[in-house]
Structure 1
Amino acid sequence: MSLNVPPRSTVPLANRQWGTSQETARCEAATPKEFEMATSAAGKAVKSGAARSPEDLEAEIDRLRDDVAKLTEQLTRTGEHSVSAAKRAASEGAEQLRVRGEAAVGVIKQNADDLEQQLTETVREKPITSLAIAAGVGFFLALLSRR
């Protein structure tokens, strides 16, 4: 099917007079394919609107309502799926953080126990040195607390 596309007009848009549905639908279509698509849609709308009965229009409206209801239902399901996927991802992330946190706490406790054991052994091996260090730390803290 071949269409004769009229040449582009040099009249500014504000000064144009649109007389037919094809001219209105064309509205500066860039290619013949776009022109064909625009004119066929406009022609169908004009032709089918004039020949339709009220029953046909009511049936079309009912069909459109059904389509909108189906789309609404699908969007709701998609939204619910997105929410459930987000909840699942958040709970998995929270679980991973909890496991990593528990592991870090375990490592810190083990390091603290090791440090306590080493300190206890050092104090038992060198009690005078340990007493001198404790006195020095106490003196230093006393100086800091005066200021």
Structure 2
Amino acid sequence: MATVRNVEDEVRKTIDNADTAEVSAQLAQLREDLANLASSVKALGAGVSSEVKARASRVADDAIAAGEETVDNVRHEIQSINDNLAYQVQKNPLQALGIAAAAGFLIAIVTRR
């Protein structure tokens, strides 16, 4: 691949020799080199972009999976507490009624002020 300095030197030599056909050929080669460089940069950018998108997608999927697992754990814990509370109320209904009445009385006193 020709460097910019080499192309400039060749263009100057050719202009000095008044060979316009050679200048046209060198300009065409320079355009081709620039087009190849642009396509290489574009391909590199597309590769990096797809890699970043894939990485972000994996992180999002992991976060969603962790969130779903946490929700399931909380749901099971709440169900366990609910089952335990129902068992305790069935086992001691009068005690549960007394606790509920006391809690209602305390809430009434606190919210009245």
Question: Above 0.5 in TM-score?
Answer: yes
Letter in 2 for 1:118: N
**Aligned partners of 2:9 and 2:31: how far apart in 1?**
19
**Aligned partners of 1:52 and 1:86: how far apart in 2?**
52
Structure 1 counterpart SS, 2:104: helix
Pairs aligned (count): 105
**What TM-score, normalized to structure 1?**
0.62
**Aligned partners of 2:78 and 2:18: how far apart in 1?**
86
1:95 aligned residue: 61
1:117 equivalent to 2:83? Answer: yes
User: Which residue among 9, 13, 17 is the counterpart of 1:45?
Assistant: 9
1:31 aligned residue: none
User: Which residue among 106, 123, 131 is the counterpart of 2:72?
Assistant: 106
**Aligned partners of 1:116 and 1:70: how far apart in 2?**
68
1:132 equivalent to 2:82? Answer: no
The structure that has the greater radius of gyration is 1
Letter in 2 for 1:129: Q
**Aligned partners of 2:46 and 2:18: how far apart in 1?**
40
Per-residue deviation at 1:64? 0.9
2:38 aligned residue: 72
Gap runs ≥5 in structure 2: none
Q: 125-134 or 112-121, which moves further after superposition?
A: 125-134
**Aligned partners of 1:85 and 1:78: how far apart in 2?**
11
Identity %: 26
CA-based RMSD = 2.2
1:56 equivalent to 2:25? Answer: no
Gap runs ≥5 in structure 1: 1-40
**Aligned partners of 1:128 and 1:118: how far apart in 2?**
17
Distance 1:114 1:68, change over 3 A: same
**Aligned partners of 2:106 and 2:88: how far apart in 1?**
22
